[in-house]
Chain A
């Protein structure tokens, strides 16, 4: 079973909750894998302290030009017309490739009548993997200055899918609603949406909920940092429409807790030092697995 933990915005507590659930699941004897797909800012390792023993470079296949062959064909320009991302541009009799823009789609290769393009690897990031206690662990890291997160995310998911088909996989997905989030969530059996119970948080979560609905994955929400205002039921109706429309069950309400914030700030896992937070996470995992299994069946 693969469960993605997502959020509408960063800072909602997604990593805290994802790492807590993974650790507790492993304690319960489930074969558990933690995949940090938040490849722009992977933070899970800061709390799980994995021993990372493998490193795989992620490459995107990018075209390389054989100028002579191309010129022999009169620089026909078809590659440039085929590329939808302006990553290969033909201007007069020059052809220029910009690897940073290339999606590695291969359309230019298909279009070239002269076989003047061959694909060479262009590095976009790296996948690091190993073990964090009882957890299998992998994280993707997008290289700075690289724009394309999706290939790195795909490789993290591939790593997670090998070897252990049974058990539980927790995916820490990038926040937001754009392509990296979609890539991380795709293929999951269930999604847990971590909602920060503030106006900003509820508003962003509502957008994320729409995206999940469009993707057709089943999801449930956990309201995090709930204070008295939200407990009174205000705020949610005004800012978090989608969640209250009833399309998404709320599995838990985690109260705002300065001790949790301080533990996090010290780099400690809050479940290790704040007993009431551990209990909340224990209950959340039980309910989550129940609901996810029911939905998946």
Chain B
């Protein structure tokens, strides 16, 4: 089983549409949607959920309004500005203290110092993750609740489950729709992959993001390729991006042109390559062939 993680600096570069298309082309794949903030792969793959699990992550502090004496010590140690002095009154105090769950990081400092033991740390339902059947194989995906913390952990969870499934299914490929950005979720989706594909656009932000992603991939020593999507918006910039990538040892996997078939496919809940024969479909097939060749090459290099 070979694991390909598809990432982009910023989102909206067509990453998910490409992953969907690769799934259609791969023949035997397990999919992992690690873009847990904006999980879009399910929109085009019409998953039938087989298994559903809660994702508990971290804690939120809660003040018991009956016990709090309003001393404010908790507030003085909280470094995340999560404690307010506007809770309801009780027999000890005209005002009690209260935790803002969306600001609380669940560190427990307040609980340590509360002289009345009025603070409890409660586990947080941060999201859910699912194992589903799709027309191209199994998919592991997730949904992070509003303001969910530590989506990196959820990403790791999704990826781990997908690994297990790919192994038990003897799938040829594990295709991961990675998280955007360079922070904790993308770190969790990239580390240890066989190959990373960066999908970018021929814009100044595309070039800029690419440099940051290059640094990330280097940091984790993962082999990588780059694909410029919508390259014909600015051919010179596309070439420039490929040149930056090449210097960093990142080979071009091919280019994909601008076409509203991306949007039309989304609306019909299909992947781009399932649409009637298009130039874009051919672009994507070429990219996939190059990726597969690179994965085969890497497998041979690797001492087994």
Contact = CB atoms under 8 A, between A and B. Distances in A.
Contacts of A148: 183-184
A204 B146 CA distance: 12
Contacts of A106: 77, 79, 107, 109
Contacts, number: 182
Nearest to A146: B183
Interface residues of A, number: 62
Interface residues of B, number: 62
Interface in A100-149: 103-107, 110-111, 142, 144-149
B222 interface: no
Contacts of A174: 181
Which residue of B37, B40, B121, B260 has the most chain A CB atoms within 10 A of its CB atom?
A: B37
B137 interface: no
B266 A103 contact: no
Given A105-B105, A146-B183, A229-B267, A214 B38 contact: no
Contact of B203 (A12, A110, A186, A265): A265
Contacts of A198: 263, 266
Nearest to A13: B12
B246 interface: no
Interface string A208-243: 001101110000000000010100000100010000
B143 to A, nearest CB: 8
A85 B203 contact: no
Contact of A200 (B43, B102, B182, B184): B43
A8 interface: yes
Contacts of A84: 58-59, 106-108, 121
- Which residue, A144, A149, A235, A239, has most C-beta atoms of chain B within 10 A? A144
Q: Which 3 A-B pairs have the closest CB atoms?
A: A11-B12, A10-B11, A105-B107
Given A84-B59, A146-B183, 19 more contacts: A12-B12, A41-B212, A46-B208, A82-B112, A84-B121, A103-B107, A107-B107, A107-B108, A145-B216, A147-B184, A175-B10, A178-B148, A178-B149, A199-B267, A200-B38, A204-B38, A210-B146, A262-B234, A265-B204
